[in-house]
């Protein structure tokens, strides 16, 4: 067995564990909620409202920068990387998984949910510090796991999304703090 075949068998084994062995109606509800955009929109609205209420305008610009970072993550993953890699989602392969909530587009690598969540979490960790940052990381990991549980991504799709999004979040925060924040402070 080649390394690629072994890696794929481990990927499918973990997918089956998450998608089939943990299957339960309550888990279906919980992970469908976590994979939806609702928690992220609620959190974003809270942060924008809190920032506006406190009149922390520098924080407001940083929140806008964070939003742009997530937009770049989403666009690059969906429009450039996915078509280039061309890996089918597991829910597109007949009888591979239990499809919980429908199957989105054809391509799965990398997971946009994982990439966007990691971009947010790493940026947030660097900006706000360990305690709020680790909460954001835990949320991103839960969203990533939900994608595997729902049968729409392989674990390696999620890991690839975490790597891409986390790197982009760190780079974006670095660019903001090293260039734009200094320019705006002058």
Which of 8, 16, 24, 113 is an active site residue? 113
In terms of Cα–Cα distance, which of 162, 110, 167, 156 is closest to 139? 162
The residue whose two tokens read 């998450």 is: 18
Dihedral, CA of residue 34, residue 154, residue 69 and residue 121, to nearest 10: 50
Phi, psi of 96 (to 5 degrees): -85, -40
| 153 is a catalytic site residue | yes
Interatomic CA distance for residues 157 and 124, integer angstroms? 22
Q: Where are the alpha helices (DSSP H) in the chain?
A: 3-16, 25-35, 38-54, 57-76, 82-85, 112-128, 130-149, 155-175, 181-185
| 113 tagged catalytic | yes
CB 110 within 8 A of CB 164: yes
Q: Kindly list the catalytic residues.
A: 113, 153
């Amino acid at each position: 067995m080649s390394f690629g075949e072994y890696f794929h068998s481990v990927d499918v084994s973990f997918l089956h564990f998450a998608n089939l062995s943990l299957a339960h109606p309550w888990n279906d509800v919980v992970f469908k909620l976590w994979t939806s955009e609702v928690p992220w929109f609620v959190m974003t609205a809270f942060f924008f409202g809190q920032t506006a209420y406190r009149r922390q305008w520098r924080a407001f610009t940083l929140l806008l920068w964070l939003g742009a970072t997530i937009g770049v993550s989403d666009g690059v993953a969906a429009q450039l990387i996915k078509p280039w890699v061309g890996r089918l989602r597991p829910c597109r392969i007949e009888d591979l998984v239990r499809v919980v909530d429908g199957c989105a587009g054809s391509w799965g690598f990398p997971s946009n949910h994982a990439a966007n969540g990691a971009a947010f979490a790493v940026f947030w960790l660097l900006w706000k510090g360990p305690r709020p940052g680790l909460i954001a990381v835990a949320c991103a990991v839960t969203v990533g796991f939900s994608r595997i549980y729902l049968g729409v991504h392989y674990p390696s799709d999620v890991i690839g999304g975490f790597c891409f999004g986390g790197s982009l979040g760190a780079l974006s925060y670095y660019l903001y703090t090293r260039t734009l924040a200094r320019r705006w402070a002058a």
